[in-house]
Every structure is written in C-alpha cells, then in structure tokens.
Structure 1
Amino acid sequence: MKNNMNAIGLDLGTTGCKAVLIDAEGNPLRSTYRSYPLIKTEPGEATQNAEVIWKAVQEALLDLKAVNADGLSFSGAMHSLLLVDGQNKPLAPALTWADTRPLDTLADIPLEARATYLKTGAPLKTPYHPAKITYLQKKQPALFAQAHQLVSIKDYIAFQLTGVWKADIGLASSSGLLNLHTGHWDEDIVKALQVKSLLPEVLDATDLLGNITPDAATHTGLKAGMPVFAGSSDGGLANLGTGAGVQDTVITVGTSGAVRSMVTSPQLDARGRTWCYFLSRNQMFAGGAINNAGLLIDWVRRMCFPADTFEVLFKEAAEVPDSEGLLLLPYLTGERSPHWKSDLTATLHGLALQHTRGHIARAALEAVCFSLAEVHDLVSAGTTRVLVTGNITRSPLWMQVLSNVLNRDLVVASSVDASALGAAMVTRHALDNRLGELTYKVQYALGFAPQPEEAALLRATREHWRGLFTSIWKEL
C-alpha cells in the first residue's frame, strides 16, 4: 500500500449524499454533501428519483476533487427497491423504507412471518422487499413485468460508476430476502416471490465491484480505472465509523433513527421487534430503527418555525424547563421498531394555553428520545458504552435529553459523518490486505452524563407517553 494512499467513502442517504476523502491513516481530509428530495406525491409515498441522485453524486464527487484517490466504497440507506429495465433504466422511482403503501398488500405476501424472520433477521413488514415486491406485483403488474433487475439505489449508483450490477451483503441482508445463516439469497423466499432471476450477485463489503469507467470519470472527476468496492449499509458502517465494538451500543439520528449493537452471531427477538443484518460476511449487528427522528423535527420547524432556522427551534426549546405536560406521539410516517405498524399516526396531547412553540419543539425532541429508548431497552443488554452519531450530536440540548431519558452516559464520536467515514474505511481495508479485521479507531469529542433530577422527571414523562400510546392504540 502506498504511504500516501487516499480512500473515498460515498454515503447515499435518504435525503442527501456525502462523500469523504481519508488518508492512509484514516484521517478525514475533506468532505462534500448534496441534498435531494424525498418524493411524496400521494398518501403513503416516499420514493427517490435514481437519476436525480446520480446527478447529486456527480456534483459531490466533482466537488471532492479526488482525482488522485486510490479507491471508493459505498454506504447505502437500507431498504430501497428500484426496478430497472433491460436497458438499465429505472422504470419508476425507488421505494424507500418510509413508503407505507405496501401496507395495503401485506396480507398477500406468500410467506410465513415467523419463519421468514428467523431465516432473514428481518420482520415481514412494509419496509422490506417481500412487502414491496408483493405490492408492486399486485398494484402495478404491468410495470413489474418489465423489470430486468431488482436493485437498491446504491446498486444503481455503483452501476453508473462501473457498468457492473452487483449487490453488497450489508444492503442485501437488510432487504428481507437474504438468509442470515448462509449469507446468500434465500432460495425458498425468492422462489415464492418469483424474483430469483432478477437479483444481482452478492459481494462481501471489501470485494471489488468494478472500476470507474471513462464516462463516469468525466462526470465525477475520478480517474478512470480506479477500483470500486462493494461497501455495506449505512447502519452497519455508522457502527464502524464510530469505532464500535461488541461492548458498544450505537445510536444514530438522521432523518430516521436507529439503535445498533455489534454481535458475533444472529441475535433475534422472540416477538420479532428488532432486526439483525450483516455488516460484512464476518460481522453482524442487531438493532431497531425508528421512522420519525430528524424528519419529525423538520416537520415541527416547517409548521411552527416557518421563517426561522433550526437554531431558533433549539434555542426556544432550551428556554422552557420541560414540555410541561405536552406529549407528542411522533408517528408521522408510521413506525418500525418496536411496533412495526405503518398505519400509526402522530398525536399532540395535553396542549394548553400556557404552551408555546418552544414547548412543542421540546416535546418533539423528547418524543424522538422516548422512541429511541424503546429500541435501546431491547438491544443494549450487556453493552457498557453508548456511542452517538448523526445530526443529534450537533445539539447539546438534544444530546442531554437523550442522556437523561436513557439514564446513561453518552459518548460522541469526533466525526458526525460516521457512515461515510465507515465506507471510506472499507475502501482502506480493501486496498491494504495487511489491515486484517474491518475495524476503526476514532477520537471521541465529548460526552454527556444524565442529570439525576431531569432524568427522574423524564422517566415519569416517558411513562405518561407510553400510557398515551396504549390508550390510543389499544390493540398493541
């Protein structure tokens, strides 16, 4: 390996892409970001335009100015499903994890829920491919019949860069089609769904996927022939990018949120409330995801602070001592863990004359933390440290609320772009076979400790919050 080797990590998120360039020691040199919209033209829809994302990727890579980089790997948002025709063109926008329309055909999936979960580590619910495939087969059969490939958004971007259709084990295992015990597409599942011939080959995270084509080089500023490696999911790579080990729980908050712990073998929940995926063929992680995190805070900003920035929202939330009895069930887009109900809706309860928009903002911050705590309690047993990454780390108030809700110390990694950094580390390991196991050591910026009085108050508020949920959604 060259002493001056530079590696690129490209993170393809729900609403934006990040590119980071690191040196041979793993130190970030520079990074870029481009946003793109989540399409919501009808009730329940949450899709992405693959060609718009490809344009954003080109701009981000050009801005990165990494013509001398030695390799690239990916971090991809989980659960996206894109239909591609025989000319390698998208047939329709890609369905994302947030699209709730497959709820309409959930009962038509030709699989048994318990057996599928035990094989794949993925509950048989709307974010996953069995539900999306069944929905498209039932609701848009003519469109589905034209499909030549079933891929993720990340697979599509990789094809644009290399001209090769391949999947990675991380995103494949988050689809609900991959057998967690064999590391391959599950024969029974793909046969029942009649999609075996539509799925690409699955590679390990550090496997060579292809090389930058001359055309892609022209549009990205990368050098033609540069190796491109398969990468993995944003969730798994966020754990890698924070330096997490088997004794750590990692919480990531972006548009959505997740709580994850590294495991050495499949870890499944008796009630199917959590999931378990591959990071690479030799590493797994278990956890749960919530739908409404930054997405909820952005909604509150648009509704209550339309002329102001997020800084104003957090400032006014900090000016009130607590939410003063105001409770917010945050389910604008249903929920994944632990309830797995796409038809859950949001509720603002307890609104009184003394409440201001600052109280609403504070209740929203608390609601996200309560939702994360529901998952934390299921997957964090035996871990000794909680690492936090994502946009939440930019707000000391929000971090303190989370520490108080969990009643645990929190540690913040020095980089908030953990998934992109994790992808860059995949590139680094792929280029240098002397590095051994896929790991990364990072510096930690600061920590937060629970404040006893505030923690006790929020513990009581959380019980009221859970009681509100139960009173509205009694069947759960």
Structure 2
Amino acid sequence: MDAVMAFDLGTTHLKWVVVEEASGLRLWEGRDNVSAVQRGLASEQDPDHIWRTIQTALNEAKNYGHIARVAFSSAMHSFVVVDAGGRPLTKSWTWMDKRGQDAARRLRRQGESVRLHHLSGVPLHAMSPLVKWLSIKDSLPPQSRPVSLKDYIVYQMTGRWATDYTTASSSGFLGLDNRWLPEALALAALDPEQLPALVSMTERIGDRKGLFDVVVGASDGATAHLHLNIPSDGTVGVLAMGTSGALRTTQRTPADNPELFSYSLGPGEGYLVGSAFSNVGNLLAWLGHTLGGSIEQLIDEGLNALYQGRPLPLALPIGLENVRHGGGKTWRGRG
C-alpha cells in the first residue's frame, strides 16, 4: 500500500511521519538535532548530517509501506552556501544566527531598510538570508549560490535546485510580485540563475533513483496555516509554537506595516502576515521542568486562567537561548 513520508526540518529537531493511504498514521518519530551548534553569534546545523539522518529514516520507513511520496516543511530563514557543484561551503545558518547583524546595520544606515521591506515584505534583519549572504559574499568563490536547508535536501534527493514561494519569500530575495527581486540581486551581485527555480509548494520532482516523488513543500509557518484551512481574509490568526513562536494570519494583500513580515504563499494565493518571537520551545521545556507537568497541561492551565480573568505570573527566564533539553534524544510512535 502506498504511503507518504513527511519531514519537518526544524531549528532544534528533525521530525518525520509516515502516513499510509488506507490505514492512516503508521509512524511518527523525531530526534534532537545533535548537529545544531550555538557559539557566539553563530547558530548553525550540519546539512550533511541532516541528509544522512533523512536517508536512514527513509530506509527504515520501508517497513511501514511503499513510500510513494516524500514531502517537506522547514524552518524559515535557513541559509547554506554551496559551490558550483552543489557542495556546501558553509553549515546551515539558522534564523537565530546573528553574523549578519553588521551588514543589516550598514544597510539601515544607507537607507535601504524601508525600500527593501516595501519590495520584499521582509524587514531588514540579521536572520534574513539576503543579509547573511551580504556578510560573507566577498570571501566566496565565483558561482557560489545561497540556498535554504530544504533546497539543499531536495537537491540531494532529486538533483534539481527548486524552492517554493514561501521559503523564497523568507529569504529577502523574493519580491512581493513573486519574482526574484532585481534590487536584492543587485545588492548581492547575483544572477537569477544562481538561485533555485521558483515552484509551487505542491510541485513533485522524481528522486534520483526513480523510487518516489519528492514534494517540494513549504515553510513551517505556511504549513501550520494551510493544514488548518485558515480563510485568507485576515479574520483568523494562528499562534504557532515551536523552538520559536509566531502569530500570523493570511490575507489577500501584503501588510502595509514596517514591523510585520508578509510572506508570499505563491502567485494568486495571498500572503502570510505577522511576526515572530523567540524561545517558545525552550521556555515551555524550562517551565515543565521547573513546575512539573507536561507542555499540554501548562498551555491548558494558562488558557483557562485567561478565560476566567485570573492574573498570570510574570516570568523573566534568563539565558534560555543557550539551554538544550534532550541531549540527542529520539522519540517514536507507531500507528
């Protein structure tokens, strides 16, 4: 029986599920990303370690049905530089990486921040892959190219460079008109051919061995909305909680607000609009460890207190960005 395998390339965890068309969920599994490193301004993952983990998971998944399709979601703003042969020249910088902050400050001083936000929908920030590229481009060999972690994994599977609009929109290189932004390319000294082909999140590409189709997928923020079938009229917001958190809505037009992110969902599909905050996952793990109880219990108790008008405690946890819970732990479930 055919099955679909889906991977989520998270900031601190790699997760996957196998769903069989007839019998439903067969497997869910996840692992702490032991390749994730935070040191100084750097926050990065090893893309090849993640690729090897995915290969192992694919091999083990054969026990749960014939894998006909493999799909992806991924954290936003990841950044990998590869050479002309597709080999990584850097690790995968996560959204938490701050090495681009000097480049971001320089662009703000030059008055570029308002213009770039107006054209791309993405505020100028150190986590932007455009800014990360600008911070190191002068030290890179010719024909280097910036890609996302998901782009790199899809390339390893298929031999084709392709990115969906939601991932491209989080890079700072995509315009709100769903085309690579000439102004960003000029700043980066890049040709459009050095960036992946823009495709729908439902685009299917055959893998190198002809065993299954790879569904390019989308950013985690987009998939969190789309699977809930949220209307695109801006009337419903979604609070997403992972390593970081975000409050976003979907609407037909981008936001006219310099503080908000407007991510394209693709031509004619509208925009994912909102903003993010950091350390939700670490905060919940810390609270659970300190107060006892599961994350689900903590959320339920907090929501009940809000509904009943009871006061909530104010907590100021310090240094959570360097806290790691799990130590390489693997968790698993079977349907």
What is the CA–CA distance in structure 2 between the aligned matches of 1:207 and 1:295, rounded to whole Å? 34
Gaps of 5+ in 1: 215-223, 302-309, 319-392, 408-449, 466-476
1:14 pairs, out of 11, 35, 38, with 11
2:238 pairs, out of 247, 250, 261, with 250
What is the CA–CA distance in structure 2 between the aligned matches of 1:5 and 1:284, rounded to whole Å? 33
Q: Deviations over 1:66-119 (max 9, x none)?
A: 551222221111101101012221111121100112112223337711121122
User: Structure 1 residues 312 and 10, CA, compared in 2 at 3 Å: closer, same or farther?
Assistant: closer
What is the CA–CA distance in structure 2 between the aligned matches of 1:126 and 1:296, rounded to whole Å? 23
Residue identity in the other structure for 2:273: A
User: Structure 1 residues 311 and 112, CA, compared in 2 at 3 Å: closer, same or farther?
Assistant: closer
Query: Contact between 1:32 and 1:63, CA under 8 Å: does it hold in 2?
Result: no
TM-score norm. by structure 1 comes to 0.60
> 1:19 deviation in Å?
1.7
What residue in structure 2 maps to residue 227 of structure 1? Answer: 213
What is the CA–CA distance in structure 2 between the aligned matches of 1:294 and 1:129, rounded to whole Å? 23
> 1:402 deviation in Å?
4.8
Residue identity in the other structure for 2:275: G
What residue in structure 1 maps to residue 101 of structure 2? Answer: 103
What is the CA–CA distance in structure 2 between the aligned matches of 1:80 and 1:205, rounded to whole Å? 17
1:260 pairs, out of 241, 248, 253, with 248
1:376-415 to structure 2, matched below 5 A, reads 394-402=295-303, 404=305, 407=306
Secondary structure of the corresponding residue to residue 196 of structure 2: coil
1:287 pairs, out of 243, 259, 274, with 274
Q: Deviations over 1:183-214 (max 9, x none)?
A: 11111221222122421111111122x21222
Residue identity in the other structure for 1:87: G
What is the CA–CA distance in structure 1 between the aligned matches of 2:116 and 2:17, rounded to whole Å? 37
What residue in structure 2 maps to residue 198 of structure 1? Answer: 194
1:277-356 to structure 2, matched below 5 A, reads 277-281=263-267, 282-298=269-285, 301=286, 312-315=289-292
TM-score norm. by structure 2 comes to 0.83
What residue in structure 2 maps to residue 51 of structure 1? Answer: 48
Does 2:89 align with 1:79?
no
What residue in structure 2 maps to residue 189 of structure 1? Answer: 184
Q: Deviations over 1:316-354 (max 9, x none)?
A: xx7xxxxxxxxxxxxxxxxxxxxxxxxxxxxxxxxxxxx
> 1:27 deviation in Å?
4.3
Gaps of 5+ in 2: 317-335
Q: Pairwise CA RMSD of aligned residues?
A: 2.5
> 1:151 deviation in Å?
0.5
User: Structure 1 residues 274 and 47, CA, compared in 2 at 3 Å: closer, same or farther?
Assistant: same
Q: Deviations over 1:430-464 (max 9, x none)?
A: xxxxxxxxxxxxxxxxxxxx122x2xx23xx66x9
> 1:286 deviation in Å?
0.9
Q: Deviations over 1:216-256 (max 9, x none)?
A: xxxxxxxx341112211011101123343344221111111
Residue identity in the other structure for 1:313: T
What residue in structure 2 maps to residue 213 of structure 1? Answer: 208
Relative to its length, the structure with more strand (as a share) is 2
Secondary structure of the corresponding residue to residue 17 of structure 2: strand
What is the CA–CA distance in structure 1 between the aligned matches of 2:22 and 2:259, rounded to whole Å? 39
What is the CA–CA distance in structure 1 between the aligned matches of 2:23 and 2:222, rounded to whole Å? 18
What is the CA–CA distance in structure 1 between the aligned matches of 2:231 and 2:22, rounded to whole Å? 19
What residue in structure 1 maps to residue 120 of structure 2? Answer: 120
User: Structure 1 residues 293 and 212, CA, compared in 2 at 3 Å: closer, same or farther?
Assistant: same
1:265-276 to structure 2, matched below 5 A, reads 265-269=253-257, 272-276=258-262
Query: Contact between 2:151 and 2:161, CA under 8 Å: does it hold in 1?
Result: yes
Relative to its length, the structure with more helix (as a share) is 1
| Range 23-32 or range 60-69, more displaced | 23-32
User: Structure 1 residues 5 and 268, CA, compared in 2 at 3 Å: closer, same or farther?
Assistant: farther
1:64 pairs, out of 37, 48, 61, with 61
Residue identity in the other structure for 2:261: W
What residue in structure 1 maps to residue 321 of structure 2? Answer: none
Does 2:28 align with 1:31?
yes
Secondary structure of the corresponding residue to residue 53 of structure 2: helix
> 1:28 deviation in Å?
3.0
User: Structure 1 residues 252 and 108, CA, compared in 2 at 3 Å: closer, same or farther?
Assistant: same
Query: Contact between 1:75 and 1:233, CA under 8 Å: does it hold in 2?
Result: yes
User: Structure 1 residues 61 and 283, CA, compared in 2 at 3 Å: closer, same or farther?
Assistant: farther
User: Structure 1 residues 276 and 399, CA, compared in 2 at 3 Å: closer, same or farther?
Assistant: farther
Aligned residue pairs total 308
> 1:403 deviation in Å?
5.8
